[in-house]
Chain A
Amino acid sequence: MPAVQETVERVKSIDVDQYKYGFETKIEVEKAPKGLDESTVRFISAKKNEPEWMLEWRLEAFRRWKTMQEPEWARVHYQKIDYQDLYYYAAPKKQAGPKSLDELDPEILETYKKLGIPLQEQEILAGVAEENRVYSKVAVDAVFDSVSVVTTFKEELKKAGVLFMSISEAIREHPELVKKYLGSVVPVTDNFFATLNSAVFSDGSFVYVPKGVRCPMELSTYFRINEKQTGQFERTLIIADEGAYVSYLEGCTAPSRDENQLHAAVVELVALDNAEIKYSTVQNWYPGDAQGKGGVYNFVTKRGDCRGNGSKISWTQVETGSAITWKYPSCILRGDNSQGEFYSIAISNGHQQVDSGTKMIHLGKNTSSRIISKGIAAGVSQNTYRGQVSAHRKATNARNFTNCDSLLIGDKCGAHTTPYIEAKSSSAVFEHEATTSKISDDMLFYCRQRGLSAEEAVALVVNGFVKDVLQHLPMEFAVEAQKLIAISLEGSVG
């Protein structure tokens, strides 16, 4: 059988077993009543002991959301979501709020252990090949369905002045910061899913790095959807004050179920003068089975505001999971001399649909942005890059370089590129290039002549294809991501 054909066959036969995070944790939970109305919003707010202003904020968003329509411009197709047939809040019963590690439900501890996520302090990221182990500390905020169950290294971070906690906790303990920044990057009215999130967001992480502080360790959040028919509405807010630096990682998994689960997150980043935020995601939500049944709908609004002069925000994403991905991590380059970056690997296989990309909005003077996107489509998946680069009239000397390459494996999938490039400033220099091609037969044959199996050959060639992006991930994540890429393209070997 020709190598490519064989790969196509194998990739096609990808099945649920491939998804190794598909297990379910049996645990007692407390849920909000099914459906969504004002009382649901009040329920969530009350559960979190939120102040009145927060409830008002949510209710305002909810009223607004009722007047909005689900967007349809993305190149994705799915059955209409019945928003009344979902649970909007689910939390482990024994878990009133984040606790210390000793108090954590052992079932949950076990879950994170199985996922390879270190909750023990002094641990490092698991699942990394022995020889490449880097013994660095990583602080973790673990979000289980609707609540943050534990946040590690809080004390050590506090010594450096870094606030790292669940957003629920931050609303209670640092209302002045939350009031100032929440919704300031992604307005409550931004879009259908963001507005929904604003009304019912459950938990997520909050980070504040004070002036001049370089965060002493990597921060990370692991999101886990466990409960059935439950939407997860994560809300993350990261603020790097003047001259601060923080690197933040995010990982996501969910059980294999034959229903579609909704994940509608909002992430807001604020970088003040000369601050830098590096945000990395390895998104591995359950993608659905071979027939396209089940899988997570990942409808996410992520946006960074380079509010200060000389600030920098860098997004790196490895998207391998989800049945549908609708996600455009963006940068608003407001400050003069600010920089935005977007590095993306999006792999779609089976029946997955990806519509992802970025926006680089140049507002300040001498701003620059860089977009490197690598899309790989296999199976019967559809993979779209959608991006916008725009320079405002006053954004003199704006610079952008964009490169989006797509690779097709098999003739049943599609790869699409839709960039919007808008220059309103004559001093703007924008360069955009995109290519689409199939995985090269000659390359695969060369590899196989040197003894690599068809799958190894595909994994090697694909890893070469995405290398420009992989090198922007923190080392621990890069190794993980590399394996994930191989697994995502793997079929039943036979």
Chain B
Amino acid sequence: MNAEVKMMRTAAETQYSDALAALPGAEPVRALREKALRLFAEKGLPHRRVEEWKYTDLRVLLREMAPLAGKPDAAALTEAKKIDLLGNIGAREITFVNGAFVAELSNLKGLEKGLTISTLGDALKGDATLPQFLAGLNPGKYDAVYALNTAALNEGVVIDVAPGAQITKPIHIRHIVTGTSLVSVFGRVVVKVGKKAQATIIQSHAGPDAVAYQTNTVLQLSVADDAELDIVRVQAEGDKAIHLSMMVGAIGTDSRFKSFALSTGAAVSRHTVPFAYAGRNARALISGATLLRGKQHADMTLEVDHALPGGESRELFKTVLDDESRGVFQGLIVVRPDAQKTDGRMMSAALLLGDEAEMDNKPELEIFADDVQCAHGATTGALDDDLLFYLRARGIPKKEAESLLIQSFFGEAIEHIENEKIRDAMMKRAGHWLAARG
């Protein structure tokens, strides 16, 4: 609406603009940053009247920006070393502590043939096309999280898998926040998978409880023709954290993409997935399980964009809400006029355990091609009393019976992870959440 009253800048908006403008930096990143910052200054933080943020009003939820985190000191590294979210899954680890790349906690030795892993700074020296890529896959569209992330562009990692390379060892990117002071942490991860190549990437987030730190991470993907990429994401931030993240990607002809996201952490989290089919006959499965308690608020927003024919997409999201927590799922499947023979199916199911829990579901279809099969479903409900009774009649105590049913509910999404060790690690983490249920 043109006539919309220009809102007053919030304290957080001013703080972001000031803090990020003061960041040092050289070209070409400087130009990118300045542009993003100008855009942010113009459009600001989203609020509930912005359709995509209807249920997650950042103007309200993000009152102030925490100061930018400094370089991690020895104590921070000691603390970071103790964090082991997934156990031994045989992955190559890359670690960021408070936003900074930490070589001693990363394993970049003996990289497989065809695999290149560089810090953002190094990558920029070698790849002239990278700035363009970092600027965004769909620059026409404004997203505050992306704009802020770009405005803060400094630390990050670029993973490049050369055409034909089959990287079987998973690569685990860890984002760890330490300490007791309020900090803002940014990070950018770029993953490029060449033609006919294959890789598995895990991205995890962890931090201390009781500290209202703020993280903003963007994972940028490009999957070339005939390539395969598996992404697993674990968001286990501390219980007071504000976690904003994005996975933005495009997949090529005949490629296959799978992703799974487990979210149990943060007071407020928002994960946005703008995902484009840039080639024909590509297949993707985007799934996730979100387990919340207390007053946690988690928002999962997808936009799956089919621009070319023959694409297949499957989206499966499970949300378990205990206590007074609030889950949000927004999922849009767009089928553009040329995307004939698209087959898209999206499902969001929520289990409400707490009396005061709330689930907001907005599954959307936007279809401009006729020869398509698209469907979405959304369900909201409590545990099935009949099933519960059946289990109890077989001698299983109430709490255990509930756990079994909850596990089977989110397990449906987890079981799509192909790598067995990772799948087990996810079940285990989800199991921790269950075990902690009072």
B369 nearest CB neighbor, chain A only: A411
Number of residues from B at the complex interface, CB < 8 A = 38
CA distance A281 to B117 in the complex (A): 64
Asked whether any CB of chain B lies closer than 8 Å to the CB of A434, the reply is: yes
CA distance A430 to B319 in the complex (A): 14
Asked whether, in the complex, the Cβ of A416 is within 8 Å of the Cβ of B365, the reply is: yes
Q: Given A69-B1, A411-B337, is A417 in contact with B354 using a C-beta cutoff of 8 Å?
A: no
Chain B residues with Cβ below 8 Å from A73 are 51
Chain A residues with Cβ below 8 Å from B359 are 421-423
Asked whether, in the complex, the Cβ of A69 is within 8 Å of the Cβ of B369, the reply is: no
Asked whether, in the complex, the Cβ of B367 is within 8 Å of the Cβ of A406, the reply is: yes
Chain A residues with Cβ below 8 Å from B381 are 428-431
B interface majority secondary structure = strand
Asked whether any CB of chain B lies closer than 8 Å to the CB of A426, the reply is: yes
Asked whether any CB of chain A lies closer than 8 Å to the CB of B299, the reply is: no
Determine, out of A86-94, A343-351, A435-443, the stretch whose residues face the partner at the interface: A435-443
Asked whether any CB of chain A lies closer than 8 Å to the CB of B143, the reply is: no
**A382-436 at interface with B (beta carbon < 8 Å):** 393, 406, 408-436
Asked whether any CB of chain A lies closer than 8 Å to the CB of B112, the reply is: no
Asked whether, in the complex, the Cβ of B360 is within 8 Å of the Cβ of A421, the reply is: yes
Asked whether any CB of chain A lies closer than 8 Å to the CB of B371, the reply is: yes
Q: Given A69-B1, A72-B1, A428-B380, is A421 in contact with B361 using a C-beta cutoff of 8 Å?
A: yes
Q: Given A434-B375, A436-B375, is A426 in contact with B360 using a C-beta cutoff of 8 Å?
A: no
Asked whether any CB of chain A lies closer than 8 Å to the CB of B340, the reply is: yes
Chain B residues with Cβ below 8 Å from A427 are 352, 355, 382
Asked whether, in the complex, the Cβ of A411 is within 8 Å of the Cβ of B370, the reply is: yes
Q: Given A393-B356, A428-B380, A431-B379, is A420 in contact with B372 using a C-beta cutoff of 8 Å?
A: no
Q: Given A406-B367, A428-B352, is A418 in contact with B382 using a C-beta cutoff of 8 Å?
A: no
Chain B residues with Cβ below 8 Å from A434 are 363, 365, 375-377
B338 to chain A, nearest CB (A): 9
Asked whether, in the complex, the Cβ of A432 is within 8 Å of the Cβ of B365, the reply is: no
Asked whether, in the complex, the Cβ of B379 is within 8 Å of the Cβ of A430, the reply is: yes
**A105-130 at interface with B (beta carbon < 8 Å):** none
Chain A residues with Cβ below 8 Å from B367 are 406, 408, 414-416, 436
A427 nearest CB neighbor, chain B only: B382
Chain B residues with Cβ below 8 Å from A429 are 379-382
Chain A residues with Cβ below 8 Å from B361 are 419-423, 430, 432
Q: Given A411-B370, A426-B357, A437-B373, is A417 in contact with B380 using a C-beta cutoff of 8 Å?
A: no
B388 to chain A, nearest CB (A): 14
Asked whether, in the complex, the Cβ of A423 is within 8 Å of the Cβ of B358, the reply is: yes
**B207-264 at interface with A (beta carbon < 8 Å):** none
Asked whether, in the complex, the Cβ of B363 is within 8 Å of the Cβ of A419, the reply is: yes
Asked whether any CB of chain A lies closer than 8 Å to the CB of B3, the reply is: yes
Asked whether any CB of chain A lies closer than 8 Å to the CB of B387, the reply is: no
Asked whether, in the complex, the Cβ of A436 is within 8 Å of the Cβ of B374, the reply is: yes
CA distance A412 to B337 in the complex (A): 8
Chain B residues with Cβ below 8 Å from A420 are 360-362
CA distance A10 to B131 in the complex (A): 51
**B1-51 at interface with A (beta carbon < 8 Å):** 1, 3, 51
Q: Given A73-B51, A420-B360, A434-B377, is A426 in contact with B370 using a C-beta cutoff of 8 Å?
A: no
B392 to chain A, nearest CB (A): 19
Chain B residues with Cβ below 8 Å from A435 are 373-375
A432 nearest CB neighbor, chain B only: B378
CA distance A433 to B358 in the complex (A): 20
Asked whether any CB of chain A lies closer than 8 Å to the CB of B160, the reply is: no
Q: Given A417-B365, A432-B361, A434-B363, is A426 in contact with B354 using a C-beta cutoff of 8 Å?
A: yes
Chain A residues with Cβ below 8 Å from B355 are 425-427
**B328-370 at interface with A (beta carbon < 8 Å):** 337, 340, 350, 352-370
A402 nearest CB neighbor, chain B only: B378
Asked whether, in the complex, the Cβ of A430 is within 8 Å of the Cβ of B366, the reply is: no
Asked whether, in the complex, the Cβ of B365 is within 8 Å of the Cβ of A423, the reply is: no
B307 to chain A, nearest CB (A): 15
Asked whether, in the complex, the Cβ of A426 is within 8 Å of the Cβ of B364, the reply is: no
A352 to chain B, nearest CB (A): 16
Asked whether, in the complex, the Cβ of A419 is within 8 Å of the Cβ of B375, the reply is: no
Asked whether, in the complex, the Cβ of A436 is within 8 Å of the Cβ of B1, the reply is: no
Chain A residues with Cβ below 8 Å from B379 are 429-432
Chain B residues with Cβ below 8 Å from A409 are 370
CA distance A67 to B373 in the complex (A): 44
Chain B residues with Cβ below 8 Å from A432 are 361, 363, 376-379
B344 nearest CB neighbor, chain A only: A436
List 24 interface pairs A-B (beta carbons < 8 Å), by A numbering. A393-B356, A406-B365, A408-B369, A411-B340, A411-B371, A416-B366, A417-B363, A417-B365, A421-B360, A425-B352, A430-B361, A430-B378, A430-B379, A431-B381, A432-B361, A432-B363, A433-B376, A434-B363, A434-B377, A435-B374, A436-B365, A436-B375, A437-B372, A437-B374
What 4 additional pairs, Cβ within 8 angstroms, besides A408-B369, A422-B361?
A411-B337, A420-B361, A428-B380, A432-B379
A-B CB proximity, top 8 nearest:
A426-B352, A408-B370, A421-B361, A438-B370, A430-B380, A417-B365, A429-B381, A432-B378
Residues of B within 8 A of A (CB): 1, 3, 51, 321, 337, 340, 350, 352-382
Residues of A within 8 A of B (CB): 69, 72-73, 393, 406, 408-438
